[in-house]
Chains A and B, each alone.
Chain A
Amino acid sequence: MAKILMKGNEAIGAAAIKAGCKFFFGYPITPQNELPEYMARELGKAGGTFLQAESEVAAINMVYGAAGSGARVMTSSSSPGIALKQEGISYIAGAELPCVIVNIVRGGPGLGGIQPAQSDYYQSTRGGGNGDYKLVVYAPANLQEAVDLVMEAFDVADYYRNPVMVLGDGMIGQMMEPIEFREPKKRELPPKDWATTGTEGKRKPNIINSLRLDPAELEKLNQKIQAKYREIEKNEVRYEMYNIENAEIVFAAYGTTSRIVKNAIEMLKQEGINAGLIRPITLWPFPHKAFDEIPETAKAILTVEMSCGQMIDDVKIANNGRLPVGFYGRSGGMIPSPQEIVNKAKEMLGGAK
């Protein structure tokens, strides 16, 4: 199939429709508006329904209802809107329902700004809502990857009965790149025999619920969910190792920041410094094992984020005290330049060679 040129937000919408998403509930917020607008235009043509909800809170609860009734369903928003959705996301995780949530991250805290940021790492990977739950979190670095991951996200959500988040930023949402739609690897998806579609008098009622008043029952639910998370950690970790062989310094960066880091790596090479990159594609489950593969040539790890330092916590956990871990970040929608990253790397290595 020939590649087509699409804007990120629209490509994500198109990928969702290709993946069989039939329902979209959303609420306007910049910088993700082209996604719901695309769904409003296109989802009906594909036999689905787009509905603009009265709020992000309502939108995610509509997702909860639709997912419980067995549909492939998606919502999207940006940081403050995702904060509002946390109630519903926690319920969806607790009731073990599949859905896909897209967060086109903008700077915070509060109303923040509308420029790209990565300051929702904690919000995405540490829960965000109440209780012990996790989302599978994909962080694409380019539009082809975004499209591939969105398509796979629906299968992963269905397979594990768990919400999946695709974390982009204003850059992923707004840029244009050539893409093609590729079938994700085949998974044997279990039948949705738990969905509320009406008993037809043929079975006992299905109940979509996260309430367990009996503490022993609630702990049992948590243990079941945690067992599922261990399974996801085993099967679904994704990351890219870039130029890691003989690296003197290893960057850790995800999403669009990883692209800037790759430029910095080229610049360092020209100065005779060998630098590599670990790029988590799944932020949860985090690619801990990638950090076990760092060569002995490496003297330091430098985490680069468009935030004040959030993923660095996971990098430190994965590094387990082996190497010094530094941080360089810009926030509020400011984007780190390759030169800034090069300077920080050289500083960590003890000045220019």
Chain B
Amino acid sequence: MAVVFKRTEGLTETPFHYCPGCTHGIIHRLVGEVLEELGVLGKAVGVAPVGCSVLAYDYFNCDMHEAAHGRAPAVATGIKRVLPENVVFTYQGDGDLASIGTAEIVHAAHRSENITTIFVNNAIYGMTGGQMAPTTLVGQKATTSPYGRDPKHAGMPLKVSEMLATIPGASYVERVSVHNPANIRKAKKAIKKAFECQLSGKGFSIVEVLSTCPTNWGLTPTESLKWLEENMLPYYPLGNFRSPEEVE
């Protein structure tokens, strides 16, 4: 028998600290697999965010920076300008990227920094205890929207991929999900394309990955995948919003 699935070299041996069923682990693994398959682990430099994935620097088997909240794209810009031949990526959640770090992500896209961003959208602040995020859905309860998000009070959820796709410098923008194996495989393809975009020098690439937060959603891991499918997919449609061919 041939081994068809084993732990990627792209991850260290450190076990993830994430809650049971949290899909961060799946997304970490996909990034690690892609880096390994593209043969770029040795020249990869990643930037971890502040949020649940703050410890991502312990998990990716490559050089890493830990950035301040929301600043990963600026940190990655500094790294990439020094090391244009290296592969530089940020891994950020929705509080980090879509709230405190909007200026940094918009301008990294605007300059078409030749970096790749993995944006994990689970519609909530996980690490700090389930507060409302810019991406929290209308009516969704969070600890700072205890009666459900009221768009009159807190605005409509922010569609990051759609927003970034309006920026000329955003070369590759795709939204994927990890709520079942078929979508996980598609997510991996998108992540690979994003890194390939960087490798061919085509500028800024981002993959928004819809993800779950069983703990703060108050659902089991299995219910969470279903909740994602039924509630997030209609508001955050999957698909490609920009591709390098379109940009050229």
Contacts and interface: CB of A to CB of B under 8 A. Distances in A.
- Do A and B touch each other in the complex, judged by CB within 8 A? yes
B80 to A, nearest CB: 8
Interface stretch (A4-12, A203-211, A301-309, A320-328): A203-211
What size tier do the contact residues of chain A reach?
Answer: 35 or more
A143 interface: no
B86 A197 contact: yes
Interface string B177-204: 0000000000000000000000000000
Most buried by B among A66, A196, A199, A211: A196
A88 B66 CA distance: 12
Contacts of B71: 57-58, 61, 64, 87-88
Given A207-B66, A209-B66, A65 B79 contact: yes
Contacts of B77: 51, 53, 58, 62, 65
Nearest to B111: A51
Interface string B62-103: 111111100100111111111100100000000000000001
10 contacts: A62-B74, A64-B67, A65-B74, A67-B78, A68-B78, A68-B79, A73-B78, A201-B41, A205-B57, A211-B66
Contacts of A55: 103
A64 B65 contact: yes
A63 interface: yes
B103 A198 contact: no
A106 B66 CA distance: 32
B83 A69 contact: yes
The interface residues of chain B, by DSSP majority, are classed as: helix
Closest 5 A-B residue pairs measured CB to CB?
A65-B78, A196-B63, A61-B74, A66-B78, A62-B78
Contact of A61 (B12, B60, B75): B75
What size tier do the contact residues of chain B reach?
Answer: 35 or more
Interface in A264-296: none
Most buried by A among B57, B62, B66, B86: B66
Interface in A15-66: 22-23, 25, 49, 51, 53-55, 57-59, 61-66
A49 B82 CA distance: 8
Interface of A: 22-23, 25, 49, 51, 53-55, 57-59, 61-71, 73, 87-88, 91, 95, 196-202, 205-211
Contact of B57 (A53, A197, A202, A207): A207
A58 B190 CA distance: 28
Given A55-B103, A57-B71, A57-B74, 4 more contacts: A62-B81, A66-B81, A197-B63, A202-B42
Contact of B66 (A67, A202, A210): A210
B65 A198 contact: no
Nearest to A25: B78
Contacts of A202: 42
Nearest to A59: B74
A202 B63 CA distance: 12
Nearest to B76: A65
Interface stretch (B43-51, B116-124, B214-222): B43-51
Contacts of B82: 22-23, 65-66, 69-71, 73
Given A51-B77, A196-B64, A201-B41, A65 B47 contact: yes
Contacts of A207: 57-58, 63-66
A337 to B, nearest CB: 43
B42 A58 contact: no
B81 A23 contact: yes
Contact of A58 (B45, B66, B86, B107): B107
Contacts of A206: 63-64
Given A65-B75, A65-B79, A207-B66, A200 B45 contact: no
B54 A198 contact: no
A64 B45 contact: no
B103 A196 contact: no
Most buried by B among A58, A59, A70: A58
A206 B62 CA distance: 8
Nearest to B12: A205
B61 A64 contact: no
